[in-house]
Chains A and B, each alone.
Chain A
Amino acid sequence: AQSVSQHNHHVILSEAASLELGCNYSYGGTVNLFWYVQYPGQHLQLLLKYFSGDPLVKGIKGFEAEFIKSKFSFNLRKPSVQWSDTAEYFCAVLSGNTGKLIFGQGTTLQVKP
């Protein structure tokens, strides 16, 4: 069965620290990969997406992610976090064949000023 696993459920960092959130998926077909962010009390917002090509993708607000096909991973990174990055982050995989979007469990990021 298709699944998405996020390694970290709750991460606490100080401002200016570097961030890496792990995401692994299991699916053998064509996939489109996403990271979403949800700020407190708000709806989902797309951070970045990967369809094909350069495995290092850049998104909004200084975030980037690297697709490693051999590891079925799509980890999210940011060199220096800010207090305003406090939010919940979701990795997701969309099957190109079926249209189904599967989410990881989410990672709550708390950035201390």
Chain B
Amino acid sequence: EAQVTQNPRYLITVTGKKLTVTCSQNMNHEYMSWYRQDPGLGLRQIYYSMNVEVTDKGDVPEGYKVSRKEKRNFPLILESPSPNQTSLYFCASNRIGGNTEAFFGQGTRLTVV
């Protein structure tokens, strides 16, 4: 089954404690991305990757890091989380080119206290 798997689904952490949210896809997609969803702001792209070892900033990259060492995995790293990073996060993957659609993970609800 084609899917994007995100973990954890829920996370409560304290300010400054490093955390990683994992994302894995099994569709051999080139493009992977992270979004955060906030009320009234929709989904905004944090970082994206067009292939292995190729990553770039999205619209709201401050305070986040990513890596793409393998095609299937695209973890989101918060080195020093702050309360303004409390949000709902989605990972997505899709092909590049032609008729393509994005597949989404189940979401990670992060609370930073």
Contact = CB atoms under 8 A, between A and B. Distances in A.
Interface stretch (B14-22, B70-78, B94-102): B94-102
B42 A52 contact: no
Interface in A14-71: 32, 34, 43-44, 46, 49, 51-52
A94 interface: yes
A105 B41 contact: yes
Contacts of B94: 94, 99, 101
Interface in A89-113: 90, 92, 94, 96-106
Contact of A96 (B33, B40, B100): B100
A102 B44 CA distance: 8
Interface residues of A, number: 23
Nearest to A91: B42
B100 A32 contact: yes
B107 interface: yes
A7 to B, nearest CB: 13
Interface centre among A49, A92, A94, A99 (most CB of B within 10 A): A99
Interface centre among B44, B45, B94, B100 (most CB of A within 10 A): B100
Given A43-B106, A99-B50, A99-B95, A94 B100 contact: yes
A100 to B, nearest CB: 7
Nearest to A10: B40
Given A43-B107, A44-B90, A90-B42, A100 B48 contact: yes
Contacts of B96: 96-99
B92 interface: yes
Contact of B92 (A9, A90, A98, A101): A101
Contact of A99 (B31, B43, B90): B31
Interface of A: 9, 32, 34, 43-44, 46, 49, 51-52, 90, 92, 94, 96-106
11 contacts: A9-B40, A32-B99, A43-B105, A43-B106, A44-B90, A44-B104, A46-B101, A98-B96, A99-B50, A99-B96, A105-B41
| Closest 3 pairs (CB-CB, A-B) | A99-B31, A51-B99, A99-B96
